[in-house]
């Protein structure tokens, strides 16, 4: 098959980790007989320098015409003093909005080779950890009415959380579909003991669950979920939650794996289209030094093959190659430990390509 991928290398280590990922995709294409047409486009700081805008019209249009978007990372100190809506990060928000991406998928996957990096006790993590956080991305308190007004105790500021049945339904459905391909458990996280929007959330998720009798559904209050993630993370398979709770819990879940350079993410909308990127930023402190870990971006490409192209075997081939390289003891600086072999960005990429 033929696939069109819009590639946004971005800033800092973005272009370095993307370069290795494109080599991996090329190898997968050769091995399985696919053609991945990758079109590189400007977004972020590099786009500001070249065009004045963090998200040029041409980039957004090309992304819309593609099957998927693969992004490195955007931003850096050079652009930090620009006003909020002119910054590289604003380009990313515009991209998510412009592409109608309503779900953010963040796997918190602790590779058993990297158990040392996990801040939790070995008896808590066991063999490994594998949690998928599904966060609603376009609704809730981050998009509700906000403002300032006079109040009895001086000026007040307010934000409001609104969720509609349709918004909850589509994210719940996605979470159940994902759970079907995993360990068949969904934990829906809310604050239904306090918030009206959470009560609607819980009601709708419960209703959607009837279409998925093979999946176990559990409801949990967000404060308890935050605690359970460090107390007993093995109880979780798929966590589905609101925009704000998901923002917080996905950071917590990914950090219990201790490896920022290892974790991919996906943002999905209706249909198969998606945007795939590592969770880490542009890491200006190590940019241009061949030190960045490319595995988070390489694993993001594996998610792209799985969720957009439905190429499960190809996705697994990448993940297996990554596991093999780690098992053989190769490490970039961020995941280095005594007795292992230190390699740079391009060597790590080459090793993965070779093992596919
Ligand atoms: P952002 O605001 O874009 O998230 P940030 O400064 O908060 O950026 P990162 O850019 O992710 O966060 O960097 C945080 C730290 O993690 C830095 O010290 C960086 O060098 C390190 N880091 C991030 N990504 C990687 C990677 N792929 N490989 C190695 N180290 C990384
Ligand atoms: Mg950050």
Task: State the residue range of the domain holding 323.
Answer: 1-104+263-356
Q: Could you tell me if the CB of 282 is within 6 A of ligand 1? A: yes
- Asked if residue 297 lies in contact with residue 72, where contact means CB atoms within 8 angstroms, the answer is yes
Q: Could you tell me if the CB of 159 is within 6 A of ligand 1? A: no
CA distance linking residue 312 with residue 302, whole number of Å: 9
- Name the binding residues for NAD(+): 76-89, 281-293
The label of the residue with tokens 């439905």 reads 310
CA 283 to centroid of ligand 2, rounded, Å: 9
Among candidate residues 228, 257, 290, the one with its CA nearest the CA of residue 113: 257
pLDDT of residue 256: 87
Q: What are 180's two structure tokens?
A: 């079907």
Give nearest CA residue, ligand 1 atom 14.
Answer: 283
CA 195 to centroid of ligand 1, rounded, Å: 35
Q: What is the CA radius of gyration of the chain?
A: 20
What confidence tens digit (pLDDT) does each residue in 47-100 have? 999 999 999 999 999 999 999 999 999 999 999 999 888 899 888 888 888 898
49 in the same domain as 175? no
- Name the binding residues for substrate: 96, 106, 135, 223
Q: What CATH number should be reported for the domain holding residue 187? A: 3.40.718.10
CA distance linking residue 183 with residue 89, whole number of Å: 35
CA 279 to centroid of ligand 2, rounded, Å: 9
Q: Which member of 4, 185, 221, 251 is catalytic?
A: 251
Phi and psi at 66, nearest 5°, equal -100, 165
Q: Could you tell me if the CB of 321 is within 6 A of ligand 1? A: no
Give the confidence band of 342 by pLDDT, cuts at 50, 70, 90.
very high
251 has catalytic annotation: yes
Ligand sitting nearest the alpha carbon of 73: 1
Q: How far is CA 152 from the centre of its chain?
A: 42
What confidence tens digit (pLDDT) does each residue in 115-130 have? 888 899 999 998 889 9
Segment 12-41 mean pLDDT:
98
* Residue 109 is assigned to a structural domain of this protein: no
| Ion ligand 2: residues, CB < 5 A | 281
- Asked if residue 54 lies in contact with residue 47, where contact means CB atoms within 8 angstroms, the answer is yes
Ligand sitting nearest the alpha carbon of 282: 1
CA 323 to centroid of ligand 1, rounded, Å: 22
Give buried/exposed letters for 104-118 (b at 16+ CB in 10 A, else e). bbbbbbbbebbbebb
142 has catalytic annotation: yes
* Residue 199 is assigned to a structural domain of this protein: yes
Q: Could you tell me if the CB of 296 is within 6 A of ligand 1? A: yes
Q: Read off the pTM.
A: 0.92
Give the confidence band of 18 by pLDDT, cuts at 50, 70, 90.
very high
What confidence tens digit (pLDDT) does each residue in 309-341 have? 999 999 999 999 999 999 999 999 999 999 999
Task: Indicate the residue among 241, 257, 273 that finishes a domain.
Answer: 257
57 in the same domain as 132? no
Phi and psi at 16, nearest 5°, equal -70, -45
Express the helix, strand and coil content of the chain in percent, nearest 5 each.
Answer: 45, 20, 30
164 in the same domain as 214? yes
- Asked if residue 305 lies in contact with residue 272, where contact means CB atoms within 8 angstroms, the answer is no
Q: Which member of 11, 67, 163, 191 is catalytic?
A: 191
219 in the same domain as 167? yes
247 has catalytic annotation: yes
Task: Indicate the residue among 189, 223, 257 that finishes a domain.
Answer: 257
**In angstroms, what CA-CA distances link 126 with 116, 252, 324?**
12, 18, 20
> Which of 264, 280, 298 most suits a substitution to test ligand 1, by most atoms within 8 Å of the C-beta?
280
238 in the same domain as 124? yes
Give buried/exposed letters for 271-289 (b at 16+ CB in 10 A, else e). eebbbbbbbbbbbbebbee
Task: Indicate the residue among 236, 257, 278 that finishes a domain.
Answer: 257
Q: Is the pLDDT of residue 2 over 90?
A: yes
CA distance linking residue 60 with residue 89, whole number of Å: 15
Give nearest CA residue, ligand 1 atom 12.
Answer: 281
pLDDT of residue 23: 98
pLDDT of residue 97: 81
* 3-state SS, residue 338: coil
Phi and psi at 152, nearest 5°, equal -65, -30
**In angstroms, what CA-CA distances link 51 with 38, 45, 87?**
21, 10, 13
CA 341 to centroid of ligand 1, rounded, Å: 21
What confidence tens digit (pLDDT) does each residue in 162-201 have? 999 999 999 999 999 999 999 999 999 999 999 999 999 9
Burial of 314 (0-12, 13-18, 19+ CB in 10 A): buried
CA distance linking residue 101 with residue 174, whole number of Å: 12
292 in the same domain as 244? no
Ligand sitting nearest the alpha carbon of 280: 1
* Residue 112 is assigned to a structural domain of this protein: no
pLDDT of residue 84: 81
CA 165 to centroid of ligand 1, rounded, Å: 37
- Asked if residue 102 lies in contact with residue 268, where contact means CB atoms within 8 angstroms, the answer is yes
Q: What are 123's two structure tokens?
A: 């008896």
CA distance linking residue 142 with residue 251, whole number of Å: 17
Ligand sitting nearest the alpha carbon of 74: 1
Q: What are 74's two structure tokens?
A: 């955007």
Closest ligand 1 atom to 285 CA = 20
**Domains contained in the chain, number:** 2
């Amino acid at each position: 098959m033929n696939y069109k991928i819009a590639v946004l290398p971005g800033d800092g280590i973005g272009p370095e980790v993307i370069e290795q990922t494109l080599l991996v995709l090329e190898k997968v294409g050769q091995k399985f007989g696919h053609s991945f047409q990758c079109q590189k486009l400007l977004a972020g700081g590099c786009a500001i320098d070249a065009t004045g805008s963090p998200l040029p019209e041409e980039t957004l249009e090309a992304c819309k015409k593609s099957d998927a978007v693969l992004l490195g990372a955007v931003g850096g100190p050079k652009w930090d003093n620009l006003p909020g809506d002119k910054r590289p990060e604003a380009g990313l928000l515009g991209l998510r909005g412009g592409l109608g991406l309503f779900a953010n998928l963040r796997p918190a996957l602790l590779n058993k080779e990297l158990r040392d990096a996990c801040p939790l006790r070995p008896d808590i993590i066991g063999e490994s950890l594998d949690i998928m956080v599904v966060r609603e991305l376009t609704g809730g308190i981050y998009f509700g009415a906000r403002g300032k007004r006079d109040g009895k105790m001086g000026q007040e500021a307010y934000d409001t959380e609104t969720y509609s049945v349709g918004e909850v339904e589509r994210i719940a459905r996605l979470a159940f579909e994902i759970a079907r391909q995993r360990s068949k458990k969904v934990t829906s996280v809310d604050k239904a003991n306090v918030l009206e929007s959470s009560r609607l959330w819980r009601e709708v998720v419960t209703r959607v669950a009837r279409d998925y009798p093979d999946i176990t559904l559990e409801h949990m209050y967000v404060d308890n979920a935050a605690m359970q993630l460090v107390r007993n993370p093995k109880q979780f398979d798929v966590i589905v939650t609101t925009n704000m709770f998901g923002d917080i819990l996905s950071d917590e879940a990914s950090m219990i794996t201790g490896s920022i350079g290892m974790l991919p993410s996906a943002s999905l909308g209706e249909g198969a289209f998606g945007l795939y990127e590592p969770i880490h930023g542009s890491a200006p402190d190590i940019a241009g030094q061949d030190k960045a870990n490319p595995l988070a971006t390489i694993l993001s490409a594996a998610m792209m093959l799985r969720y957009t192209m439905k190429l499960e075997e190809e996705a697994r081939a990448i993940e297996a190659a990554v596991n093999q390289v780690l098992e053989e003891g190769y490490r970039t600086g961020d995941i280095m430990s005594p007795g292992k072999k230190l390699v740079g960005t391009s060597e790590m990429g080459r090793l993965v390509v070779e093992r596919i």
